[in-house]
Amino acid sequence: MLQIFLLALFFALLSGLILIRYSHLHAHYSADSDVSSVQKFHAAPVPRIGGVPIMLGLLAGCLLSSFLNEVWWPLLLLLSAIPAFFAGLIEDVTKKIGPAPRLFSTFVAALLAYILLNAGLFRLGLPWADLVLSRFVWVSVLLTVVAVGGVAHAMNIIDGYNGLSGVVAIFIFLAIIYVCFKVNDVVLMSVCFAMIGAILGFLFWNFPKGLMFAGDGGAYLVGFMIAEISVLLIVRNPAVSPWFPLLCVIYPVFETLFSIYRRKFLQGRAVGYPDALHLHQMIYRRVVRWMVGSKEIRHLTQRNSLTSPYLWALSSCSVVPAMLFWNNTLVLVGFVLVFILSYIRLYLMIVRFRTPRWMRLYKSVGR
């Protein structure tokens, strides 16, 4: 496991270094130069092709895992991820691929994994739902495709600040590693170690200074791998509750569902209409009051990076109980409901300017 982790880390670190060192050669295509958009919070153009180091690190880790474990399905899993990764990467380079085609690409990727690896949702831990899934294959296919695509898209939604989605993903993979250890699924555990190594190699350049962004390619790749590894964990290990991975990813998933509700029913806008009202953006604007008003790049970058730990803490509130009660469906369902209610309460407190004083972070420009 250590060899796989270190190899993935090395390749992600090295490729990230090369991309940043020679950014002047590709910045015309790869740099995120739009610093004024409603959903942009960086201060200067930054390469947004961090998905490339993540993919290279993951490829190296999966190759070693397949060699050491004498199985080749991790490479088939990586092959399935290609449509989701490249759709995002093309958007990062051309800025011309909309949300719908990117989401559709994750559906295609999920279908590939279903065919190549039998990675499907065949049970939900609910008797009536399990009966339907066992009788109607097309329901299982549809549910799997939508679930995997939804998680991948949700990880892209929360990819807004330095280190935010990367550390959340690492939390999730660590929880999956723990459960893989409990059920003795060594190969799946090794893929998770490869993912953590690849993400850490990217995060070295992303947090806290924001020298590189994951972009849509990185976000969709990480989200797809979280979803597919979760599906495979359930398929390969009947003792694991299907609600374990759902509780692990409930933060990005509910963020997405809440955003759809907010735009469609509260604002009367199209679901895909961009705004700056995600929870992480509200925390940035109303909780992290660090050097507000300063236009210095270092102050803007610091404030960007100081936002992420709030969401790391929020994510851990779901990941930790998921890890502790990984085989208890009833308890996991209860924690899902508790998280949803807690999220809504936190969001309303921030919107109504009732955030507790201990949560607010202040530093004046003149100090």
Before 238, cis peptide (omega within 30)?
no
User: What percent of the chain shows pLDDT beyond 70?
Assistant: 96
d(CA 46, CA 48): 6
34 appears as a binding residue in the annotation: no
User: Residue 185, annotated ligand binder?
Assistant: no
pLDDT of residue 38: 47
Q: What is the pLDDT of residue 25?
A: 84
Residue 201 CB neighbours (<10 A): 26
The answer to whether the beta carbons of residues 250 and 339 sit under 8 Å apart is: yes
pLDDT in tens, 181-229: 999 999 999 999 999 999 999 999 999 888 999 999 999 999 999 999 9
User: Strands 288-290, 361-363: parallel, antiparallel or unpaired by DSSP?
Assistant: parallel
pLDDT recorded at residue 5: 97
Q: What is the pLDDT of residue 26?
A: 86
Domain ranges of the chain: 2-363
Provide the 3-class DSSP secondary structure of residue 363.
strand
As a whole number of angstroms, the distance between CA 161 and CA 279 comes to: 12
pLDDT in tens, 300-320: 888 888 999 999 999 999 999
Per-residue pLDDT tens over the stretch 6-38? 999 999 999 999 999 988 888 888 887 665 554
Mean pLDDT of the chain: 91
Residue 357 binned pLDDT confidence (cut-offs 50, 70, 90): confident
Nearest by Cα to 155 from 209, 237, 229, 208 = 229
List, for residues 240-277, the tens digit of each pLDDT value: 999 999 999 999 999 999 999 998 888 888 777 777 88
For residue 40 the two structure tokens come to: 């942009």
